[in-house]
Chain A
Amino acid sequence: MNELLKLIDVWKTYRMGAVDVHALRGIDLEVKSGEFIVVLGPSGSGKTTLLNLVGGIDTPTKGDILFNSINVSSLDEAELTLHRRRNVGFIFQFFNLIPTLTARENVLLAAELVENPRDADEVLEIVGLKDRADHFPSELSGGEQQRVAIARALVKSPPLILADEPTGSLDFETGKMVLRVMRDINRNEGVTFILVTHNSVIATMADRVVHLRDGRVAKIIVNEEPAEPEELSW
């Protein structure tokens, strides 16, 4: 597998009043194309900060983030927007769908950003929502909304999808269903996933698990035989 992403000694420091808070302290990490990575760690360990830096919505204080050999940390605001537009799909804990647009339109909203997007109905079919395409978010269940969010991320054909606590707002069964969809996309489409969670059970379905603690990589565990989402229990 080719190397998609490489983080070299990445630091992120926030200034909180008079105090410097180190969210990340020298992260080194390599992600290969097609991998399903779970970043695990307690609250305040730097999981979301890591995701934000990789996604190009924040820049590191120090260090380099190479995406397909391009140094994302040296991009300006306009280039970062293009990076998000072309290379990254986001999935959020609270779905963040536009309430005035239907499921299909939410997907189209992202599709219109790229030159050769995938067909909106096709990606909705992949996430199992073809029949619900004309429904507004308020007419969909939490799981369905999150699947629309996945379709929205997928429609741009990004090589990388970043998911921040994607099951955090879902019940157990729905959460597993969403994870199933993500795993299938990863396997069938070859899309790389970095999933951030504090739920250690989810880690068992990852190809590799990155444990963060106090802004550092505490350990990286390779799952030789990742579990299937249906096998998870929490």
Chain B
Amino acid sequence: MKALNLKVFRDLKSQKWQFIAVIFLVFLGVALYTSFYMSYLNLSKTYDTFYEKTNFEDLAVTFNPAPEELLSEVRKIDGVEEVYGRLSAYGTFEREGNKVTLKLLSIPEELKVNKLVIVDGRYPEPGERAVVLLKKFADYHDIKVGEVISVDINEKRVSLKVSGLAFSPEFIWIVESGSWITTPKTFGIAYIPQQTLEEILGTAGIISEAHITIYDEDRVEEILNRAKDIFADYGIVEIYKREDQPSNKLVKMDLDGFKELSFMFPSFFLFISALMVYVLLSRVVREQTGSIAILRALGYSRKDVLLHYLSHSIVIGVIGSVIGAIGGYAFSVLMTAEYTKLLNVPYYIAVVHPDIIAQGLAIGTITPLLAGISTAYAASRIEPAIAMRGVEVEVKKVRVDEILFFLKRVSMLTRLALRNLFRSPRRTIYSLFGVVASVVLILTSMVFLDANDFAISMQFDKITTFDMKITTSNPEIYRAVKNMPEVLEAAPIIETWVVIERDGVTKSSILYAIGHNQNMLNIYDISGRQRHPPPKGIVLPEILTSKLKVAQGEKVEILTEFGRQKVIIAEIYNQPLTPTCYADIFYFSKKTGVDFNAIIVKFKPGMENQGKNRILDIKGIRADSIDDLKEYIDELMTFFYVFISFTLLFGASLGFASIFNTTTVNILERRREIATLRMLGYTTKEIAYSLLVETVIIGIIGIVIGVPLGYMSAKLFFESFQSELYYMPFIIYGRTYAFTILTTFAILLLSLLPGIRYVSRMEIEKVTKEIVS
């Protein structure tokens, strides 16, 4: 190796911990970028291939039972490729003492749309009393292929053999329109031959859903409208395009999150790594002024010197990026695998994306290179003759303690700390950047925890305080439920999807029509104030009205599963969590002619389990338990908590690496002064105090700047996640500020320890020699 190249590695070795800290940040920056972006691409590819392989629907229409023959009319629509018509019914079965609801979906002899990927067993024969269950649901209940389950459907107990376990593109997330995600503990999907379900239900040639694929995407709206018209006479229950398909909508929302994170996090780390490269390289050049002069005197050109010092940046960038890209790939595989474990997908695709790896390597190498250019250039401009004589380092003479009169009374050691802040203002500012970035990352991560806690508390302690929701429109069931000894309160509600149309713009949401005299399903506005449904008209969330450009008092046309109605917009306000439309149940009943289609129930304290089981005994209904849902949400949250822990750790590492570097560089540069202080009789503790004052001041300023910045960044980040599907109010709890501040100080103190250790271990005799020599 050429001597000059060898020197690069020796330089790096001489300050190995500082360089390792910068390399670590480059590594994190590149690893986060490549891992998040590749995870985004891998997940997209996973979903896309799954959708392609299974011929996932482009649009769907759900309607009240209609003749199957109408499907042939749908097939005739120009642009339609395939149509899958089906019937659905609810059933329940018992598993380990728990009632489990099954949604049975009929399948033809051969599925051509929303095909099932059978991973165990087989597709059932026509007319066979058999079902295909979703794999994860079966696994959850330990149901094996060949097992027979007894399902109660329409007051009939039917024995159904499990012929296979499968994955469906419709249920990557098991969610239905106008409803929450469901837990496999109490809800599952079963595919049953059409003929078998007809036999059980006693119907023939009737369907209630049409799932359609098309070959001409430009005509999707037209095809949807024509399909809707075909079933309109029977009453449309629901219509959606692929992008609005409930499971797919959630999947896409998650994907957007991955994409966003792949830019936000890495930019923090790479920015701070650039500042650190500048600080470190400046110190190397300053210390080596004499060596540079010698190199120049020996005959090395300015270009040689420039390239020599740029090599330091390149080595940092290349090492950090290569490890980062490898780590990023590994993380992306891990992240894709772990994330897809939460979902109902049969496989995941985790491939190397050479373009993303190349981008990561380029970003990771170019960032330190750019950061090092000005310093390397300055090194190349050093005049040998001047450098040989030694360059006096100019010290900024800012007397901050004299500007701030109250500081005049502080000890010289404290003043020294204050002056040192202004000694190398650029370095102090860079330290500040590190602290600020760290505060922003910690605060933003914590805000997600706050949001999650707020959402859970808002949803389950305020908005929905009922224990169970029963999907039924049977008044007898309502009366029976109301009179159950375990039931404290029961109230009918109307729950429907709703499409609001204005000047060709349509927005979909959920509508709840609720009574005044119940407090189990409550309306809250964004400020946390409880509202009540207006006696006339509907309440719309602001997020929808702003997009539809409609105002309070205006009439709009809404489409629900009960047909089209013209309604007045009685009130508009922002709502937390899922933006929902509300109406008074009497008003909406009058409009639609439907008394109710669901019942919400609250049990007497201590009688929840008995009540739940008694309700699940009712035949032909679907009942969702809030407790089971909460339990499932907690399970899903594990991934989220792991993710937040990592971002907190990354934020802490960022602050540590940044302060560690500037502190140690400061100490190394001032070692003569520190030795002098020790010779004058100052103890290590007193010198540590001075360093602490300096660091704490940077910490305080960093927090003062970082907290509002973190607030703004979290708010912006939050807003970018807001959608018509979910509106999260921006809430920061006091604990988050306290945690951010305390953690930042803890990081600062921790990053100071190596420097203090250096001061305490400073061999005074050696340092003296250095000073005296």
Contacts and interface: CB of A to CB of B under 8 A. Distances in A.
Interface of A: 48, 52, 55, 57-58, 78, 81-82, 84-86, 90, 92-94, 96, 98-101, 105, 108-110, 112-113, 136, 138, 152, 156, 164-165
Interface string B414-434: 011001101100000000000
A94 B412 contact: no
B751 to A, nearest CB: 22
B680 interface: yes
A43 B765 CA distance: 17
Contacts of B771: 92, 94, 96
A176 B603 CA distance: 100
Contacts of A105: 412, 415
A85 B677 CA distance: 10
Contacts of B423: 99-100
A101 B419 contact: yes
B411 interface: yes
Given A48-B768, A90-B679, A92-B676, 12 more contacts: A48-B769, A58-B768, A92-B772, A93-B772, A94-B772, A96-B676, A98-B416, A99-B395, A101-B415, A105-B415, A112-B413, A113-B682
A165 B416 contact: no
Contacts of A109: 412-413, 416, 677, 680
Contacts of B529: none
Nearest to A88: B681
B681 A84 contact: yes
Contacts of A113: 680-682
A102 B485 CA distance: 87
Contact of B397 (A55, A57, A92, A100): A100
B772 A48 contact: yes
A217 B107 CA distance: 108
B680 A85 contact: yes
B765 A81 contact: no
Nearest to A59: B765
A182 to B, nearest CB: 17
Contacts of B422: 100
29 contacts: A48-B768, A48-B772, A52-B768, A57-B679, A57-B764, A57-B768, A58-B764, A81-B678, A81-B683, A82-B681, A84-B679, A84-B680, A84-B681, A85-B682, A92-B771, A94-B771, A96-B672, A99-B423, A99-B673, A100-B395, A100-B396, A100-B416, A100-B419, A101-B419, A105-B412, A105-B415, A112-B411, A113-B681, A138-B395
Interface string B665-677: 0000000110111
Nearest to A53: B765
B503 interface: no
- Which of B416, B422, B764: most chain A CB closer than 10 A? B764
A164 B768 CA distance: 10
- Which of B392, B397, B415, B673: most chain A CB closer than 10 A? B397
Contacts of B218: none
A96 B677 CA distance: 9
B394 interface: yes
Contact of B681 (A52, A86, A96, A100): A86
Contact of A98 (B676, B679, B683, B772): B676
A116 to B, nearest CB: 15
Interface in B525-572: none
Contacts, number: 86
B689 to A, nearest CB: 12
A52 B765 contact: yes
A138 B680 contact: no
B394 A138 contact: yes
Nearest to B683: A81
Nearest to A113: B681
- Which of B394, B420, B768, B771: most chain A CB closer than 10 A? B768
Interface residues of B, number: 31
A207 B333 CA distance: 81
B91 to A, nearest CB: 81
Nearest to A90: B679
Interface string B733-773: 00000000000000000000000000000001100110110
B681 A112 contact: no
Contacts of A100: 395-397, 416, 419-420, 422-423
A92 B683 CA distance: 20
> Which secondary structure characterizes the binding site on chain B?
helix
B771 to A, nearest CB: 6
Nearest to B420: A100
Contacts of A96: 672-673, 675-676, 771
A138 B394 CA distance: 8
Interface in B649-691: 672-673, 675-683
- Which 9 pairs show the lowest CB-CB distances between chains A and B? A85-B681, A100-B419, A58-B765, A99-B395, A96-B676, A109-B412, A84-B681, A57-B764, A113-B681
- Which of B395, B677, B680: most chain A CB closer than 10 A? B680
B679 A55 contact: yes
Nearest to A93: B772
A105 B411 CA distance: 10
B680 A90 contact: yes
Contacts of A85: 680-682
B514 to A, nearest CB: 70
Nearest to B676: A96
Contacts of A99: 395, 423, 673
Nearest to B674: A98
Contacts of B765: 52, 57-58
Contacts of A57: 678-679, 764-765, 768
A175 B509 CA distance: 90
A126 B397 CA distance: 26
Contacts of B415: 101, 105
Contacts of A152: 680
A99 B420 CA distance: 10
Interface in B402-456: 411-413, 415-416, 419-420, 422-423
A57 B412 CA distance: 23
A128 B146 CA distance: 105
A48 B772 CA distance: 8
Nearest to B772: A164
- Which of A48, A93, A113, A152: most chain B CB closer than 10 A? A113
A195 B632 CA distance: 81
Contacts of B420: 100
A150 to B, nearest CB: 13
Nearest to B672: A96
Contacts of A108: 412
Contacts of A110: 680-681
Interface string B133-176: 00000000000000000000000000000000000000000000
B709 to A, nearest CB: 30
A100 B764 CA distance: 22
A152 B673 CA distance: 14
- Which of B419, B422, B769, B772: most chain A CB closer than 10 A? B772
Interface string B473-504: 00000000000000000000000000000000
A86 B681 CA distance: 8
A90 B672 CA distance: 14
Contacts of B678: 57, 81
A162 B39 CA distance: 67
- Which of A84, A100, A138: most chain B CB closer than 10 A? A100
Contacts of B392: 138
A93 to B, nearest CB: 6
A58 B678 CA distance: 12
A112 B412 contact: yes
Contacts of A90: 679-680
Nearest to A152: B680
A105 B419 CA distance: 12
Nearest to B760: A77
Contacts of B677: 98, 109
A78 B416 contact: no
A93 B773 CA distance: 8
A136 B397 CA distance: 8
Interface string B363-377: 000000000000000
